[in-house]
Structure 1
Amino acid sequence: MSAQFQTPPSATSPAADLPRLNRQLRPVPKAPVRIVHLGLGAFHRSHQAWYTQQASDSADWGIAAFTGRRPDAAVALAEQDGLYTLVERADGGDSFAVVGSIVEAVDGADLGRLTALVAAPETALVTLTITEAAYGLGADGKLDISAPDVAADLALLGSGSAQPATPLGRLVLALAARRDAGSGPIAVVCCDNLSNNGTVARQGVAGFAKAWDPGFAAWIDGNVSFVSTSVDRITPRTTDEDLAAVREACGYRDNSPVVTEPFSSWVLSGDFPAGRPRWEDAGALFVGDIEPYENRKLWLLNGAHSLLAYAGQLRGHKTVAEALVDPECRRAVEAFWDEAEANLPQAAGLQIPEYRAALAARFSNARIAHNLAQIAMDGSTKLRMRAVPVLKAERAAGRTGAAAALMIAAWMDYSATAASFQDPLAEDVAAANRLEGIERIKALLAVIDPVLAGDASVVRLVEGLCGTEAGYPASL
Structure 2
Amino acid sequence: MPSVADARASRPSVRLAHLGLGHFHRAHQAWYTQRANSLPGASDGWGIAAFTGRSPRAAEVLSGQDGVYSLITRAAEGDSAEIVQSIVQASDGAGPEWESTLADPAVAVLTVTVTERGYETGNDSSASAGGESAGARIVRGLAARARASTGPIALVSCDNLSGNGEALRRAVLAEADPDLTSWIGENVSFVSTMVDRITPGTVDADRATARELTGYDDSAPVVTEPFSEWIVSGAFPAGRPAWDRVGARFVDDIEPYERRKLWLLNAGHTLLAAVGLPRGHETVAAAFADPECRMLLEDLWSEARIVLPFDDETLDAFLGALRTRFANPRIAHRLTQIDDGSLQKLRQRQAAIVSARLENGDEPGRASLATVESWGHARGLDLAEALDALQPGLARRVYAS
Normalised to the residue count of structure 1, the TM-score between the two structures is 0.75
Say whether 1:253 aligns with 2:217.
yes
Gaps of 5+ in 2: none
CA distances 1:179-222 after superposition (whole Å, capped 9, x unpaired): 2221111111111122222222223222333xxx2332232222
Flag the 1:405–1:76 CA change in 2: closer, same or farther, 3 A.
farther
For 1:106 and 1:441, the matched residues in 2 are separated by 48
CA distances 1:312-350 after superposition (whole Å, capped 9, x unpaired): 2232212111110112221222222122212111347x7
Deviation of 1:455 (Å)? 4.2
Contact 2:376 2:383 in 1 (8 A): no
Say whether 1:278 aligns with 2:242.
yes
Say whether 1:352 aligns with 2:315.
yes
Q: Quote the residue 1:370 is aligned against.
A: 333
- SS of corresponding position for 1:387: helix
CA distances 1:278-312 after superposition (whole Å, capped 9, x unpaired): 01221111122222222212221122123223432
For 1:240 and 1:290, the matched residues in 2 are separated by 38
Summarize the alignment of residues 249-328 of structure 1 with structure 2, pairs less than 5 Å apart.
249-328=213-292
Match of 1:130 among 111, 114, 119: 114
Flag the 1:202–1:405 CA change in 2: closer, same or farther, 3 A.
farther
Contact 1:58 1:101 in 2 (8 A): no
- SS of corresponding position for 1:311: helix
Contact 2:154 2:238 in 1 (8 A): yes
Flag the 1:249–1:182 CA change in 2: closer, same or farther, 3 A.
same
Match of 2:4 among 21, 29, 33: 21
Say whether 1:453 aligns with 2:392.
yes
Contact 1:438 1:459 in 2 (8 A): no
Contact 1:319 1:370 in 2 (8 A): yes
- SS of corresponding position for 1:217: helix
Q: Quote the residue 2:345 is aligned against.
A: 382
Q: Quote the residue 2:27 is aligned against.
A: 46
Flag the 1:103–1:374 CA change in 2: closer, same or farther, 3 A.
farther
Deviation of 1:70 (Å)? 2.2
Flag the 1:390–1:48 CA change in 2: closer, same or farther, 3 A.
same
Contact 2:71 2:82 in 1 (8 A): yes
Q: Quote the residue 1:100 is aligned against.
A: 85
Contact 1:61 1:277 in 2 (8 A): yes
For 2:246 and 2:21, the matched residues in 1 are separated by 21
For 2:136 and 2:228, the matched residues in 1 are separated by 31
Instruction: Indicate the percent of aligned positions where both proteins have the same amino acid.
Output: 49
Deviation of 1:46 (Å)? 0.9
Say whether 1:117 aligns with 2:101.
yes
Question: Structure 2: which amino acid aligns with 1:204?
Answer: A
For 1:299 and 1:223, the matched residues in 2 are separated by 35
Deviation of 1:409 (Å)? 4.3
Gaps of 5+ in 1: 1-17, 137-144, 154-162, 417-435, 462-476
Deviation of 1:164 (Å)? 4.8
Say whether 1:175 aligns with 2:142.
yes
Contact 1:168 1:205 in 2 (8 A): yes
For 1:458 and 1:71, the matched residues in 2 are separated by 50
Q: Quote the residue 1:396 is aligned against.
A: 359
Deviation of 1:459 (Å)? 9.4
Match of 1:194 among 158, 161, 175: 161
Flag the 1:460–1:261 CA change in 2: closer, same or farther, 3 A.
same
Contact 1:37 1:127 in 2 (8 A): yes
For 1:109 and 1:410, the matched residues in 2 are separated by 44
Q: Quote the residue 2:51 is aligned against.
A: 66
Question: Structure 2: which amino acid aligns with 1:394?
Answer: R
Deviation of 1:366 (Å)? 1.2
Contact 1:118 1:174 in 2 (8 A): yes
For 2:147 and 2:384, the matched residues in 1 are separated by 51
Q: Quote the residue 1:468 is aligned against.
A: none
CA distances 1:230-261 after superposition (whole Å, capped 9, x unpaired): 22222222222211112222222211111112
Q: Count matched residues.
A: 394
Summarize the alignment of residues 408-447 of structure 1 with structure 2, pairs less than 5 Å apart.
408-412=372-376, 441=385, 446=389
For 1:440 and 1:130, the matched residues in 2 are separated by 36
Contact 1:453 1:459 in 2 (8 A): no
Flag the 1:385–1:120 CA change in 2: closer, same or farther, 3 A.
farther
For 2:52 and 2:275, the matched residues in 1 are separated by 32
Flag the 1:26–1:271 CA change in 2: closer, same or farther, 3 A.
same
Match of 1:342 among 306, 331, 334: 306
